[in-house]
Amino acid sequence: MYKFKKENFLWGGATAASQVEGAWNLNNKSLTISEMRPFIKNLDRKNIKDVLDISKENYLKSIENKDNLHYPKRFGVDFYHRYKEDIKLFKECHLGIYRLSMAWARIFPNGDDEKPNEAGLKFYRDVFEECKKNNIKIMVTINHFDLPYPIIEKYGGWVNKKVTDLYLKYAVTIFKEFKDIVDYWLPFNEINVAIWSGVTGLGIFREDYKSNKLYLEACYQGLHNQFYAQAKFIEEAKNISHEAKIGCMVANSTNYPLNCDPKNVRECQRLQQIHRFFFYDLMVYGSYPSYINRFFKENNINLEIKKNEMETIKNNKIDFISFSYYATGTISLDESDKTESNLTIAGKNPYLKATDWGWHIDSIGIRITINEIWDKYHLPIFISENGIGVLEKLNEQNTIEDDYRIDYLKEHMIQIGEAIEDGCDVFGYTMWTPIDVVSAGTNEMSKRYGMIYVDYDDFHNGTGNRYLKKSYHWFKKFRETNLL
C-alpha cells in the first residue's frame, strides 16, 4: 500500500464539451470543426493521420451530410441532458474538481454576434451550480478544439488576427458571467496541437496553402495569435478580479533518446525544445526563446508579431502550469520503429508496454516530467489529463473488471506522490476521464477512458445508460483512505 501524503490535493476528472455534450444543434448552437469529422469504419488505430488528414472537401461535405455519415461529436454522451446524473456520480466517488470545457458555439454561435446566447449561458450556469451543490470545484477550459465553423468560414480561423478579438469577447464574457463560481481557468486546451494539426487547433485547412512551408508558417502565426489572446485575456481578467487563477494547458510529449549516442541525445534535446519547452518558455518567461528563432530562420518562417502583442505577452504570464500526460516515446536520427503518442509519432521504447492505440504506458515518465517542469519554471503544477483508452464491453453483471485501468491510474498517482516528495509543487490531477467519451482523435466511443461506462457504440446505438466499472469503486475507496 502507498499512502498519498499531500493534504488538500485536488483529485478529479476532465472532459471536453465536444466529446460529451451532444445537443449539437439545440438552442441556437452552431456547428464546430470537431463536429465535422466523421467516424471512420475500419480505421487503423495506430495511424492517427487517417483521422487528422481528412480533406477540406470532406469537412465541407459534413455540413449537408448527403452521404449520411455518422459524426460522433454531434452526440457525445448526452451530457447536455444528463449532467445532473453524471455530476451526482462524480460526487459519489468523491471527485473534488471537475475540469470541463465550454463550447464557444453555444455562447457566440456566429463568432461575431453582438450579444451572447442566453440559452448557452444558462446551460453552463446550471452545470456549474450543480457542481457547487455537490461540493465539486470547477476548472474551465475556454476553447477545447471546437472552433465554431462560422468563424472558419468567414475569417479563415486563427491565422486571422480578427479571431483574437472574437475570442477575447467570448472569453471575457464568460469570465464576467462565471468568475464567482469557476475556480480555475485554462484559455486553450493543448495549445501546441496548433502545430501538429492546424485544422484541430486553429481551424485552418492545409489545402488553402500552396506549400508545406506556407502552411507551417500559418500554423505558427495562428499559434502566436493564440499566445497573444491568452495573455490579453489574463490582463483583462485580472483587471476584473485579482483573485482569478489562470493557467496554461500543453500536450506534454516527453521523449527519451533511443540510446546514449550523442547525436540522438542532441536530437532529442532539440525536439523537446521545439515540441515542449518552447510553449512553456513563452508563456512563463514572455518571449520567444533563441532556439525557436533559429528554427524560424532556418525554415524561412516569417510571422507578423507586433510590439504591443509581445509587451502584453511579457506582462501577463500564467499563474500555474497544466499539461496532459499519456505516453512517452523515443527519438533517434536513424530509422526506428514508430508508434502513436497522443496526436504525435514517436519511436518505440523496448522497455515499455503499449495500449491498443500504440501509446506507451510509462508511469515513471510522469515523475520525470513533473520534475523537469518544476526545476525549469517553479510554478505550481496541475496534471489536467492522464488516462488509458481501452476496448471494453459490459459483462453479465453490467460492470467491467478494469484492473488494467486501476493499475494504470494507481502507478501514475504513486509517481505523482513521489514527485511531490521530490519537492515539486503539484496541487491537482484530473483523470481523462471519469466517464466514457467520444475519443478526440479517432472519434470512437469504443476507445473507453472512463470509470463510468456509457452504453453507446461507435454509431451511437444503445441506451446511453451509465454503469459503474470496478475502477469507480476503487477510486472511491482511495479518496476515503488516501491509500493506493
Distance set, CA 416 to CA 7, 230, 348, 387 (Å): 14, 28, 24, 14
Pairing label, strands 320-324, 452-454: unpaired
Say how far apart CA 390 and CA 203 lie, in whole Å. Answer: 29
Q: Give the active site residue among 35, 385, 392, 444.
A: 385
385 is a catalytic site residue: yes
Say how far apart CA 62 and CA 210 lie, in whole Å. Answer: 24
Say how far apart CA 19 and CA 100 lie, in whole Å. Answer: 10
Distance set, CA 123 to CA 21, 26, 106, 186, 336 (Å): 11, 11, 9, 19, 49
Amino acid at 205: F
Q: Provide the grid cell at 360.
A: 506507451
356 C-beta neighbours (distance < 10 Å), count = 13
Say how far apart CA 481 and CA 484 lie, in whole Å. Answer: 8
Say how far apart CA 52 and CA 202 lie, in whole Å. Answer: 13
Task: Write down the residue that cell numbers 450543480 correspond to.
Answer: 130
**Residues that are catalytic:** 385
